[in-house]
Amino acid sequence: STLFPYTTLFRSPFVEETLKGIGVLISSWHHEFDDTLSGLLFGFTIGVGFSFVENWFYFSSRTNPFELGIVPWISLVLYRSFFNSIAHGCFTAATAAVIGYMKSHPRAFNMARFGFLPGLFAAISLHVIFNLSALLDGFVIAKYEIPVFLFNPLLVGVMTVMFLVVFVSATKEEKIRYLGRKALSMV
């Protein structure tokens, strides 16, 4: 279908990230969603949960182990379960981290939920790039008939490193805030 690349590249990321972002927005009212670190964790969890459901539907409706063959089917299940789960977690964490960051700063606290928009833009952009890398892998596999995924795993690796850098930074920031609150309570 001529709509396939358009749907895969743009429509699906917009719809999926908006729906997951609404979940993030709802969870941002929770009292423990109060900084970048909690945003990352809430967002990553929502994204991985979404990926679990998406993969379940994908495996049950689009793949048949008897048509694909058992080894290719198991490879597909493992590949999607690992890479797509991490990717969806990172996409949604981008939305949630912006909201969490804004909630942790007193001047931005009242506007924190507006962080949904730039966070959503980042999530959609990452998702579009992820889908583009999957299409590129598909083209390379089709052209050279070598079933090796290159672009998609590389991108997921880069997103994982970015997530971990933000996670470490957010953890340090939370520790500093915790020690500051503890010091104030001792006074």
Q: Tens digits of per-residue pLDDT, 154-187?
A: 899 999 999 999 999 999 999 998 888 888 888 7
- DSSP alpha helix (H) spans, the chain: 3-6, 12-27, 36-62, 65-68, 70-79, 85-103, 116-144, 151-186
What six digits make up the tokens of 115?
A: 């962080």
pLDDT at 2 over 60: no
Mean confidence (pLDDT) of the chain: 89
**Phi then psi for 11, rounded to 5 degrees?**
-65, -50
Q: Is the pLDDT of residue 145 over 80?
A: no
Residue that wins the pLDDT comparison between 43 and 106: 43
How far apart CA 79 and CA 69 sit, in angstroms, is: 15
Q: What's the pLDDT score for residue 185?
A: 85
CA distances from 33 to 22, 80, 103, 120, 122 (A): 15, 29, 8, 17, 20
Q: What is the pTM of this model?
A: 0.85
- Helices 85-103 and 116-144: crossing angle in degrees, nearest 10, is 160
Q: What is the pLDDT of residue 148?
A: 65
Give the closest residue to 159 by CA, choosing from 69, 92, 79, 70.
92
